[in-house]
């Protein structure tokens, strides 16, 4: 599994580098930044996606050239929460003079995740490792490691949040009636088709953003490159995702219920529970496609 990726906002303090170096023992990849402006850019930059945790200095420097100060802590903390609400934030300080009030505020806002580096960094790293390894997002990425590594790397995917949400909801009791699954699969398929075009697999029929079906047909002609089971997954995914990527108007419910050949009929079958395994079958087909793409890239 890839290393646990941690962003450490340490104000550029060289005295803290020794702590970052010791994190290698815990299978961490520590990326440091000097101020909150840089930190926010890294959190927003999709080429540096998939942060597992953030370590925030209890006396953050907001901009380059500014003096680090504890009164900026709550502002900096909430900015990270707004940018990355699902990433756990740990607060650390190596300042022996940090006031008891500032420590109390850091503990309160971080829900107890405050660490005095004057004492030890061991507890900080052990707690990060324990929390991340028990985190559902991390566990899903670990379970589908090859797929996430591929999808996060392809141009146009922006980030893997959509794929992550899809797989997280996969175990929900109401997943089989979720009308958004075909639409979300369609968005991921679009990125895959653009990637297949860029690597030359769809040279004869480049994906334009609106010719998903034509590209699927073209892949069905490439038996030497695309295995038969992957061809079938593409055909099934494209048919269901395309047809299910529409909302049925309330006033037309009777009309669409009577016309089973209408593309919008797929979504009605999902929401009515008539096809209780269709969404899961769709996701399994998508996973087969993504896994094949990951091996093709190698």
Q: Looking at 123, 138, 153, which one is the last position of a domain?
A: 138
Q: Identify the weakest region by mean pLDDT among 112-126, 169-183, 200-214, 250-264.
A: 250-264
Q: So what's the pLDDT on residue 247?
A: 53
Residues 283 and 152 occupy one common structural domain: yes
| Mean pLDDT across 121-130 | 89
**In whole angstroms, what is the distance from residue 13 CA to residue 96 CA?**
15
Residues 286 and 152 occupy one common structural domain: yes
Residues 54 and 185 occupy one common structural domain: no
The pLDDT confidence band at residue 12, using thresholds 50, 70 and 90, is low
pLDDT digits (tens, 9 = 90+) for 17-57: 667 677 778 888 888 888 888 888 888 765 445 688 999 98
The pLDDT confidence band at residue 285, using thresholds 50, 70 and 90, is very high
Q: Looking at 80, 103, 138, which one is the last position of a domain?
A: 138
Q: So what's the pLDDT on residue 64?
A: 79
**In whole angstroms, what is the distance from residue 106 CA to residue 99 CA?**
11
Q: Are 26 and 52 in contact (CB under 8 A)?
A: no
Q: How far is CA 147 from CA 47, 70, 167, in A?
A: 17, 41, 12
**In whole angstroms, what is the distance from residue 298 CA to residue 148 CA?**
15
Q: Which of 15, 77, 133, 34 is nearest to 125 (CA)?
A: 133
**In whole angstroms, what is the distance from residue 32 CA to residue 178 CA?**
40
The pLDDT confidence band at residue 200, using thresholds 50, 70 and 90, is very high
Q: Is 79 helix (H, G, I), strand (E, B) or coil?
A: helix
Residues 265 and 151 occupy one common structural domain: yes
Q: Identify the weakest region by mean pLDDT among 75-79, 118-122, 124-128, 185-189.
A: 118-122
| pTM of structure | 0.74
Q: So what's the pLDDT on residue 244?
A: 63
Can you tell me which residue has the tokens 């369609």?
A: 186
Kindly state the tokens that stand for 221.
């002609």
Residues 290 and 156 occupy one common structural domain: yes
**In whole angstroms, what is the distance from residue 141 CA to residue 167 CA?**
9
**In whole angstroms, what is the distance from residue 102 CA to residue 267 CA?**
53
Q: How many domains does the chain have?
A: 2
Residues 244 and 178 occupy one common structural domain: yes
Name the more confident of 10 and 159. Answer: 10
Q: Looking at 81, 107, 138, which one is the last position of a domain?
A: 138
Kindly state the tokens that stand for 137.
């997002």
**In whole angstroms, what is the distance from residue 204 CA to residue 276 CA?**
37
Please give the residue range of the domain that contains residue 278.
Answer: 145-297
Residues 100 and 209 occupy one common structural domain: no
Q: Is 247 helix (H, G, I), strand (E, B) or coil?
A: coil
């Amino acid at each position: 599994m890839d290393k646990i990726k941690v962003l450490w906002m340490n104000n550029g303090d060289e005295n803290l580098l020794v702590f970052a170096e010791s994190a290698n023992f815990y299978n961490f990849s520590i990326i440091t930044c000097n101020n909150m402006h840089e930190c926010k850019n890294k959190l927003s930059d999709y080429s540096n996606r998939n942060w597992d945790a953030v370590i925030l200095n209890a006396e953050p420097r907001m901009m380059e050239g500014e003096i680090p100060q504890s009164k900026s802590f709550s502002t900096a903390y909430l900015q990270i929460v707004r940018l990355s609400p699902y990433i756990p934030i740990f607060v650390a300080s190596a300042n022996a003079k940090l006031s008891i009030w500032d420590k109390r505020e850091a503990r309160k806002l971080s829900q107890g995740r405050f660490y005095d580096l004057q004492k030890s960094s061991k507890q900080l790293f052990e707690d990060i490792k324990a929390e991340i390894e028990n985190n559902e997002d991390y566990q899903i990425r670990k379970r589908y490691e090859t797929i996430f590594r591929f999808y996060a790397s392809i141009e146009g995917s922006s980030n893997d949040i959509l794929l992550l949400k899809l797989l997280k909801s996969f175990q929900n009791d109401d997943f089989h009636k979720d009308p958004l699954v075909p639409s979300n699969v369609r968005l991921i398929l679009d990125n895959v088709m653009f990637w297949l075009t860029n690597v030359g697999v769809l040279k004869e029929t480049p994906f334009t953003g609106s010719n998903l079906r034509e590209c699927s047909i073209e892949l069905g002609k490439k038996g030497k490159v695309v295995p038969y089971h992957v061809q079938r997954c593409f055909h099934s995914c494209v048919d269901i995702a395309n047809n299910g990527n529409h909302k049925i108007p309330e006033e037309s419910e009777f009309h669409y219920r009577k016309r089973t050949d209408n593309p919008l009929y797929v979504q009605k079958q999902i929401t009515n529970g008539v096809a209780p395994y269709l969404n899961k079958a769709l996701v399994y087909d998508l996973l087969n496609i993504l896994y094949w793409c990951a091996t093709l890239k190698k």
